[in-house]
Amino acid sequence: MRYILALCRAVDRVTETVGKSVAWLLLAAVLISASNAVVRKAFNISSNAWLELQWYLFATVFLMGAAYALLRNTHVRIDILSSSFRKRTRDVIDLVLHILFLLPFAGLMVYLAWPWFWKSYALGEVSSNAGGLVLWPAKLLVVLGFGLLFVQAVSEIVKRYAILTGRMEDPAVAQTTAAAGTEQ
């Protein structure tokens, strides 16, 4: 179990690095959007490529950031119900739902998106918009994003199991305890 948890820590580091890195793409998207708007209004010039680049950047942040949200436990859940449960009950629910829903969904998305991407890549598919961008990089993002989400889900399942069986301390509880100790 020690080696599996070490592998989970490596997956977590990759997810953390990717998540923090792609967050900067939001700044790029905002700057491109603002520049595009100024050029369009000031010079009456526009390009579909700039608009599509904004979409690509947003898609990158969304798709590659999903695993980071899972790692940081900031993903969507029904807090009105979840907050009323004991910590152990929430952990069991997370474990079961990750196994029953998240893993199959992420795996299915990778399975279905791969041929979709590959066909686009092989054909050199380009946007139907005048001056649009090549499409396969955006389709590759779907494969990579759901692939990273799948791997991070496996990591979360292993860690949740280790926490429930007492083989690992819950990092969220350790951070809360450490923060409370520094405030005193």
Domain boundaries, the chain: 2-171
pLDDT in tens, 34-86: 998 899 889 888 888 888 999 999 999 999 999 999 999 887 766 677 777 88
φ/ψ of 150, rounded to 5, equals -60, -50
Mean pLDDT of 147-168: 94
pLDDT at 182 over 90: no
Evaluate the CA torsion angle 18, 23, 24, 28 in order and state its sign: positive
Alpha helix (H) ranges present in the chain?
2-43, 48-71, 79-82, 87-97, 103-123, 136-164, 171-183
What is the per-residue DSSP string for 99-115? IIIIHHHHHHHHHHHHH
